[in-house]
Structure 1
Amino acid sequence: MLVPSVVFQSPDGTFLVGSDAERRALTDPGRVARQFKNRIGDPTPLRIGDSALTAEAVTARFLLRLLSSLPGGQPTRVALTHPAGWGHYRLESLRAALSANGLAQVLLVPEPQAVVRAHDALARLEEGAAVAVYDLGGKTFDAAVVRKLAADRFVLAGPPEELDLGGLDFDEVVFQHVVEALRPEWDALDPMDPAVLTAVADLRRACTAAKEKLSADTEVLIPVALPGIATREVRLGRTEFESMIRPAVEETVATLDRALRAAGTPPHELAAVLLVGGSSRIPLVTQEVSAQLGRAVSPAPNGMAAIGAALEARGLEPEPAAVATAMWTRPPLPEAPKALRPKRRKLTPFVTAGVLAVAVAGGVLANNVLTNKAGADTTTTTTAPPTTTTTVEPSVVQYTPTQQPPPPPPPRTTTQPPKPKPTTTTTRPSTTVSTTKSTPPPPSSTTPITSGMTKAGAP
């Protein structure tokens, strides 16, 4: 069964899926949601009518509604494929939503592995064989290399590659081609008119059908039925269509080449190349992939991913429900660029000056204690050697743009009596406007030398 990924919520809360949802969306487009799979893991909810649901919750309800409508009843085992590049957060978000809707036993299978599993059922692969998967779906493109390790066991040979590009983008190219052909009448349409909205929805479906026909025909005529527009058909040729989508197709081929290099598998070592997804049937895709790999390729049969998922569900036990719990509410936020971060004031000079001042004060105090003890004790005499102490004082910078800085203070020269030669300490000229000096310590047996020092260019 091929069912469009579309859901519609009626005013009474009933969920419709597939073609039924498409038909109801023509008259009430505010209650429909499409392509919600790509939003799984995004905490921002989707607005569907009067409800706000996350994409994983919509996916769970879609699957539940689809299973309940099967002719043979709900199956005992269910497998659901997903892009191979999904991480732990997105998978756990989906598991939690499935469990909340009574689908805890659903088996999640990476799409490339499901495709290769189905291909192995049709043409048995040897152990160790590598298969490249080119998956051009409706909204995304995925490329991966899958290797067969043993019977019914397939693993990714390297990290998968993906693009936010798919068949819907090609549909939009055809739609814009029609819009350009209808100008200026197109610009005169009323976007709030329900009849116009319904006609535009029909036109979009006609553009999708025309894209699919171009896979077999060389040109198509796209029917147009819009209020107030006399044009009834717009022509589009295959050559013109391929010229419009060629840059996007070349990007997918380059992504496939990156996946092969990441897996360490050259094209000539591949046992098969599988082109899956509806848009992989475009002739330009087959030509570009064949030219890149140097070998003939062709699209795989329809439903390969679904067949492989069914084989996985039949042969493997479903994963336990205990892991169906979301681990986080959202991915971590990226760090702000350095240019946007607030600048921090550097305090290192001030902290260093404070530490030096404390050390000097401790040295003076210890010297005083030793001197006093020498005068009181008659049996032990301690003579402190002459000490030269320099105190570095922090400066407070005051900057006034309209004033010129005063001339720097003259250098000080102080001599120490115990030494035969005077000791000279010179203060470097400072560019600061003013300096604040602390009160010198009281005199003691050691006469300290105090000189004011400032750091030029202090902030």
Structure 2
Amino acid sequence: MPSVVFQSPDGTFLVGSDAERRALTDPGRIARQFKNRIGDPTPLRIGDAALTAETVTARFLVRLLDSLPGGRPARVALTHPAGWGRYRLESLRAALSAGGLADVVLVPEPQAAVRAHDAVARLEEGAAVAVYDLGGKTFGAAVVRKLAADRFVPAGPPEELDLGGLDFDEVVFQHVVEALRPGWDELDPMGPGVLAAVAELRRACTVAKEKLSADTEVLIPVALPGIATREVRLGRPEFESMIRPAVEETVAALDRTLRASGTSPHELAAVLLVGGSSRIPLVTQEVSAQLGRAVSPAPNGMAAIGAALEARGVEPKPAVVATATWTRPPLPEAPKPLRPKRMKLIPFVAAGALAVAVAGGLLANNVLTNKAGAESKTGTTTTAPSTTQRSDEPPVVQYVPNQPTAPAPPPRTNTTQPPKPKATTTTTRPSTTVTTTKSTPPPPSSTTTTTSGTTKAGAP
């Protein structure tokens, strides 16, 4: 069914061929190829209604399912381009949920096509398949690998281009317009008769493009008021010369996809050409020349068949109404106000800290020299000023003045005289010498002996 919708003045929503027929007399109430606008906050103007693309898609799907002879099926699967991100998928799922289709299975189009091919060809595990999908508005290239039964995963990042069959239709239409000049420029673009005639001409251009896949020449009928020309000729060579740059671009994208997945053309188990525009003979020729192997278009509806197989084999998830908090991706935040770079203050802070440390060391040198004897009377080592050392804390590094080196006396218990300093390791720094020792406070209920300023635990 064509992806076309028509909104009548009384609110009736028509889809597919019915919408195409009504659009001939009222072209301002039709929308085509709305799938690619999903996630775009700008609504589509269809007659008097303004609807987002995901809402139009949901209504299209509901009308399609309600028109089936057997009614709605138990499960529904909907394919989407492989490159869609989470935002677009959540926007679509929210619109489907609002339309009463909360349990729809969303399947990437390349995986769906390969799944349908596997149902016929029975691919081996590990087999890689290239998918060239040239649809109505977009092109997609992907490499899909079969890991196990009914499990297909992308072998690398897909590529997408914003071109497709509608662009080829426009090429044919512009060819006809050039053939109708100067009479075309004299038409009233807003005249009701002209609008209807132009809509019919566009439809004839699409039909002519499709016929050129089998014929070498077509005649495009023209029925415009005030123009005597009734037919415009178009040959296949002329048509292919007009679309060749776009086709070559798609082939280059397929080659990049193969390289990104680390797969060479001779390693591919199959190459699937899907999408209506992939049936153009030039497409088959260019892809075959690029890959060095013969390829042919896949049967119609490969992605739809794969989606049906996916819906049959996967249990639907619990119905959860998705809520889209945004109708478009969030805008970038406003730039934050500039602040001074704090990194530039680090050298000054470090210099200040060094000066304080040196001054503190000199001051401690004088103070500790005058109180060297008083520090050891209690059997503990003096810590830094205003610091209390507990038994459960790690040793504290002390800074004491230089003292003469002398042999350590024998340990004495509960001595009341100051101990003689022990040999210390002296580290010399610019303009000051500091001595480092470690102190360990005595554990409770033990006899403490002091040897050269170091506290040791004796026998109980």
- The alignment's TM-score, normalised by the length of structure 2, stands at 0.72
Q: 1:228 to 1:145 in 2, by over 3 A?
A: same
Is 2:292 the counterpart of 1:303? Answer: no
Q: Write the distance in 1 (CA, Å) between the matches of 2:30 and 2:198.
A: 16
Q: 1:146 to 1:97 in 2, by over 3 A?
A: same
Q: Looking at CA atoms only, which structure, 1 or 2, has the larger radius of gyration?
A: 2
Contact 2:113 2:306 in 1 (8 A): yes
Give the secondary-structure state (helix, strand or coil) at the position aligned to 1:259: helix
Describe how 1:375-390 pairs up with structure 2 within 5 A.
Answer: none
Shift of 1:6: 1.0
Change (3 A) 1:264 1:327: farther
Deviation, 1:343, is 11
Match of 1:45 in 2: 43
Q: Residue 83 of structure 1 corresponds to which residue in structure 2?
A: 81
CA deviations on 1:103-148 (whole Å, 9 max, x unpaired) are 0011111100000010011111000000000000000000000000
1:94 aligns with 92
- Residues 298-318 of structure 1 show CA distances to partners (whole Å, capped at 9, x for unaligned) of 000001011110011111112
2:24 touches 2:196 (CA, 8 Å); kept in 1?
A: yes
* Per-residue deviation, 1:292: 0.6
Alignment of 1:176-195 (within 5 A): 176-195=174-193
8 Å CA contact 2:79, 2:108 repeated in 1: yes
Distance 1:77 1:19 in 2: 25
Deviation by residue 1:31-83 (Cα, 9 ceiling, x = unmatched)? 22111100101122112222221111110011001111111111111110000
Kept in 2: contact 1:6–1:18 (CA 8 A): yes
Q: Secondary structure at the match of 2:320?
A: helix
Shift of 1:324: 2.7
| Contact 1:83/1:142 (8 A) holds in 2 | yes
Q: Work out the CA distance in 2 between the residues paired with 1:31 and 1:208.
A: 20
Going from structure 1 to structure 2, the CA distance change for 1:323 and 1:99 (only over 3 Å counts) comes to: closer
Task: State the partner residue of 1:139.
Answer: 137
Equivalent-residue separation in structure 1 for 2:127 and 2:197 (angstroms)? 50
User: Aligned AA for 1:128?
Assistant: G
Cα contact 1:26–1:198 (8 A) shared by 2: yes
**How far 1:10 moved relative to its partner?**
1.8
- 1:4–1:19: 8 Å Cα contact kept in structure 2? yes
Q: 1:334 offset after TM fit, Å?
A: 5.2
> Where do residues 53-72 of structure 1 align in structure 2 (5 Å cutoff)?
53-72=51-70
Question: Which whole-Å CA distance do the structure 2 matches of 1:314 and 1:71 have between them?
Answer: 19
Which structure 1 residue ranges, 5 or more long, are not aligned? 364-459
Aligned CA distance change for structure 1 residues 345 and 308 (closer, same or farther; 3 Å): closer
What's the CA shift for 1:216?
1.0
Runs of 4 or more off by more than 6 Å in structure 1?
Answer: 341-348
Match of 1:111 in 2: 109
Equivalent-residue separation in structure 2 for 1:5 and 1:144 (angstroms): 23
Question: How many positions carry a matched residue from both structures?
Answer: 351
Cα distance between partner residues in 2 of 1:185 and 1:146? 51
1:4 equivalent in structure 2: 2
The alignment partner of 1:321 has SS state of coil
Deviation at 1:342, TM superposition (A): 11
Identity %: 87
Q: Deviations over 1:333-382 (max 9, x none)?
A: 3589xxxx89979899xx98xx99xx9xxx9xxxxxxxxxxxxxxxxxxx
Note the C-alpha offset of 1:267. Answer: 0.7
Name the aligned partner's letter for residue 84 of structure 1: A
Question: Structure 1 137/335 Cα, relative in aligned 2: closer, same or farther at 3 Å?
Answer: farther
Q: Within 2, Cα distance between the matches of 1:83 and 1:345?
A: 44
Aligned equivalents of 2:158, 2:321: Cα separation in 1: 24
Of 266, 270, 273 in structure 2, the residue corresponding to residue 272 of structure 1 is: 270
**In angstroms, what is the RMSD of aligned CA positions?**
2.5
Q: Which residue of 1 aligns with 2:397?
A: none
- Return the letter of the residue paired with 1:202: E
Using the alignment, how far apart are the partners of 2:136 and 2:311 within structure 1? 25
One-letter amino acid of the counterpart of residue 124, structure 1: R
The offset of 1:329, in angstroms, is 3.4
**Which residue pairs with 2:360 in the alignment?**
none
* Structure 2 counterpart SS, 1:16: strand
Residue in 2 aligned with 1:235?
233
Q: Does structure 2 conserve the Cα–Cα contact (< 8 Å) formed by 1:85 and 1:162?
A: yes
Mapped partners of 1:345, 1:311: distance in 2: 58
SS at match of 1:92: helix
What residue is the counterpart of 2:154 in the other structure? 156
- Structure 2 CA distance for aligned equivalents of residues 34 and 178 of structure 1: 21
Tell me, which stretches of 5 or more residues in structure 2 are unaligned? 357-460
| Cα offsets for 1:254-277 (capped at 9, x unmatched) | 000111111111111000000001
Q: 2-side partners of 1:234 and 1:48: how far apart?
A: 31
For the Cα contact (< 8 Å) 1:92–1:327, is it kept in 2?
A: no
- Using the alignment, how far apart are the partners of 1:252 and 1:335 within structure 2? 36
Structure 1 residue aligned with 2:15: 17
Partner letter of residue 242 of structure 1? E
Alignment match, 2:371: none
How many angstroms does 1:29 deviate by? 2.3
Identify the residue that residue 253 of structure 2 maps to in structure 1: 255
For residues 335 and 297 of structure 1, do their structure 2 counterparts lie closer, same or farther at Cα, with a shift above 3 Å needed? farther
